[in-house]
Amino acid sequence: MNKPEIKKILAKLVAINTSNPPGNETTAASFLSEFLKNKTQKIKLIGNKKRKNIIAFFGNLESDNILLFNGHLDTVPFNKTEWQTNPLKLTEKNGSYYGRGVADMKGGVAASIFAILEAEKLGYLKNKQVIFAGSADEETGASSDFGSKMIIDYLVKNKIRVKGALIPEPSGNKKLLTLNLGHRGLIWLKVKSFGKADHAGLLRKEDNSILKMQKFIQGLYSLFPKNPKKVKGIPQSSIRITFINSGNDQHYNLMPQMCEANFDIRISPNENNEKTINRIMKIANKLNIEMQVIKNTPSSKISKQEKIVKVLENVLKSRKQKYKFGFASPTCDAHWYINAGIPTINGLGPVGENVHAPDERVLAESIYDRVDLFVDLIKNF
């Protein structure tokens, strides 16, 4: 394993600002394409001008035993003044690498690519095919038409039937790794209630937009009880109000004509987004509330009996590595693969901290450990 080369490539990925929005993942995809052009059987860049995905093919392209590694190339935005280090410069300190995206998930991208290259060098790809897919636009809800959806469309169109996939997002810790069998779904709602603008001091029947919003919120929360019947190992649904405004903060005596609110709803893998939206819509219609669905990302889950799960279990046991099964609470690109019939594990990425926060970091040795782990996965798949 060439650790200096891995660090060098990770540093260059971190230096490419792929904050989303706007993303600009094409720069990162093109960099990886240039790095891999003499190391792979075939490379495809797909997407629009500024938001391309990369698909790189390794090994025996005639083999139907196909394993895929996926990693998103975008990151969340950052405020440079809140960081102790430069977020666009890989900084090593006390055994950790600092920089935007080192944990989520440029570290996982680098580990995947170098694991594939190492596995090929060791002769493990003679009878199998391995694909690396670097995707755009995951961080804004993993629901756009030009991210992993384009990768799935390409695979389907070209009849490439992947047998298993790994998305090495950060999960678990140094002692206990997490094999996520899926993730919760996501619904973002923008809601508006309407009333009559009026003088607050007049003694007459009020038509108050805030009270209407209050009734909607009460009805909405009634759909998500605080203590639902729990299913072992399956995360429950949740709801959060993230914004509310009547545009009336300076006028104490004015009844607001409109009140608006935003909601973040996470849907259990045991529940259905569309049924949930229909139930919410009934509440909105009853109160004459205007409701817009901003994001609608389905949940996903796979069985522990899938090949990718069994192989990873055996690999982790052989390495005497403790692990557990789980489900990711945030959404990710796994649903595109799972709902396309590709059993996918989300997790096992390098161990990181401060994901989506200032001073994001990853344990340096965990990146190199993941390279070894992924090589074993490729060998045994």
Question: Looking at the DSSP assignment, which residues form a beta bridge with residue 133?
Answer: 55, 70
For residues 295 and 188, the answer to whether their CB atoms sit within 8 Å is yes
Average pLDDT on 210-237 reads 85
Q: How confident is the model at residue 203 (pLDDT cuts 50, 70, 90)?
A: low
Per-residue pLDDT band for 147 (boundaries 50, 70, 90) equals very high
pLDDT in tens, 301-345: 999 999 999 999 999 999 999 999 999 878 899 999 999 999 999
Regarding whether 316 and 239 lie in a shared domain, the answer is no
Amino acid identity of 206? E
CB 129 within 8 A of CB 116: no
> How many residues are there in the chain?
381
Q: What is the pLDDT of residue 198?
A: 81
- 42-74 pLDDT tens trace: 999 999 899 999 999 999 999 999 999 999 999
Percent of the chain past pLDDT 90, that is, above it, reads 85
CB 124 within 8 A of CB 375: yes
Q: 120, 101, 78: which is closest to 28 by C-alpha?
A: 101
| Tally of domains in the chain | 2
Same domain for 41 and 178: yes
pLDDT for the residue 284:
97
Q: Stretch 349-368: mean pLDDT, rounded?
A: 96
> Is the pLDDT assigned to residue 200 strictly greater than 90?
no
* Residues 133, 225 within the same domain: no
Task: Point out the least confidently predicted range of 33-47, 183-197, 236-250.
Answer: 236-250
Q: Say if residue 26 is in the same domain as residue 148.
A: yes
What integer pLDDT is reported at residue 227 of this predicted model? 62
How far apart CA 222 and CA 288 sit, in angstroms, is: 18
Same domain as 70, residue 176: yes
DSSP string, 282-308: HHHHHTT-EEEEEEEE--EE--TTSHH
On whether both 196 and 159 belong to a single domain, the answer is no
User: Given this model, what pLDDT does residue 30 score?
Assistant: 97
The CATH number assigned to the domain holding 356 equals 3.40.630.10
> Do residues 106 and 23 both lie within one domain?
yes
Which residues span the domain enclosing 130?
A: 3-184+299-380
Angle, CA 140 vertex, CA 234 and CA 69 arms, to 5°? 65
* Pair 353, 315 in one domain: yes
What is the structure's pLDDT at 249? Answer: 72
Which of 40-49, 191-200, 263-272 bottoms out in mean pLDDT, i.e. has the lowest? 191-200
Shared domain check, 44 and 193: no
Q: How confident is the model at residue 207 (pLDDT cuts 50, 70, 90)?
A: confident
Residue 168's pLDDT band (boundaries 50, 70, 90)? very high
pLDDT of residue 229: 64
**pLDDT tens across 59-117, in order?**
999 999 999 999 999 999 999 999 999 999 999 999 999 999 999 999 999 999 999 99
CATH of the domain at 258: 3.30.70.360
Q: Are residues 156 and 15 in the same domain?
A: yes
| Residue recorded with tokens 């937009």 | 209
If asked whether residues 30 and 166 sit together in one domain, one would say: yes
**Of 279, 297, 315, which residue constitutes the final position of a domain?**
297
What pLDDT, on the 0 to 100 scale, is given for residue 251?
Answer: 76
Q: Which residue has the tokens 């259905």?
A: 272
Q: Do both 173 and 241 map to the same domain?
A: no
Domain boundary among 262, 297, 332: 297
Among residues 272, 297, 322, the one where a domain terminates is 297
Tell me what the mean pLDDT of segment 138-153 comes to. 92
